[in-house]
Amino acid sequence: MTEKEGLKVVNMQHQIDPEAFRASAKDEKGHTERLQCRVQPAIAQQISAITSTKAFPYRTQGDLVRHGVYRHVLQYLPGLLRQLGSGGMLASIEGQVDIINMLLLDEKRSREFEGVFENISRQVTDFMMSGAEGQARRVLLKVKTHIAAMPDGYWKEKYLKHLEDRWGMMMKEGPRAKLLDFSGSE
């Protein structure tokens, strides 16, 4: 980082160097993006107080916030990234707990997968035992529609494959309408 990027904020005359507090709103092509966020009232009051004192070279509250974001994103976070462990998590107790929770979530999804198909199997079996094959097929086709609406990925593929492997023929075989029944001729 250079001194202009904000590490040296006092010049040789022991005065605040305004260049150290400037973060341009525009890139080299003149482009900008507008961001908004909410803050606690006390923070808003502090920002207002800082900009109104003119002790720092911020013309507006936006200048102060932009400079803060600039310093945080371009200076503080890169240093923090060097402390990160594998998987982009902080090498700390909290980071390791987050990794463990992600693994456990996958195990939970696996158990939910088994439970869902046990419930489907029970429902389909009940309909089949009562002679309601059409109802069983309707349930399977509705389940397939909801699985198809899942985000693409491992679990969607696993659900669809299991459904197809277990009940694919049943979903495809169904009563077909006879065109003669609707033609009006006998």
85 within 8 A of 95, measured Cβ to Cβ? yes
Q: What was the pLDDT predicted at 5?
A: 42
Looking at the fold, whether 69 and 117 belong to one and the same domain comes out as no
- Tens digit of pLDDT for each residue in 59-68? 889 988 988 8
Token couple for 122: 């029970």
Residue 53 lies in a domain: yes
* Mean pLDDT confidence for 161-181: 74
Interior CA angle at 55 toward 53 and 57, to 5°? 105
DSSP state of 75: I
Residue at 151 is within a domain: yes
Whether 183 maps to a domain, the answer reads: no
Q: Is the pLDDT of residue 3 over 50?
A: no
Does 128 map to a domain? Answer: yes
Residue 73: DSSP 8-state: I
For the cut 60, the answer to whether the pLDDT of residue 90 exceeds it is no
d(CA 62, CA 51): 10
**Do 73 and 113 sit in the same domain of this protein?**
no
pLDDT tier, 11 (very low <50, low <70, confident <90, very high otherwise): low
Residue 103 has pLDDT above 90, yes or no: no
Number of domains in the chain: 2
Q: Which domain holds residue 120?
A: 93-172
Answer whether residue 8 shows pLDDT above 60: no
pLDDT, one tens digit per residue, over 142-152 is 999 988 888 77
Whose CA is closest to 17, among 75, 62, 57, 72? 57
Are 121 and 163 contained in the same domain? yes
| H helix intervals, 34-153 | 41-53, 61-71, 77-81, 93-129, 133-148
Question: Which residues are 84's β-sheet partners?
Answer: 90
- 54 in the same domain as 7: yes
Same domain? For 77 and 126 the reply is no
- In this structure, the answer to whether residues 68 and 100 fall within a common structural domain is no
**Do residues 118 and 51 both lie within one domain?**
no
pTM (whole model) above 0.85: no
Asked if residue 51 lies in contact with residue 64, where contact means CB atoms within 8 angstroms, the answer is yes
Query: For residue 140, what pLDDT band results from cuts at 50, 70 and 90?
Result: very high
162 falls within a domain: yes
Please tell me whether residues 156 and 109 are part of one structural domain: yes
Same domain for 165 and 109:
yes
> What was the pLDDT predicted at 1?
37
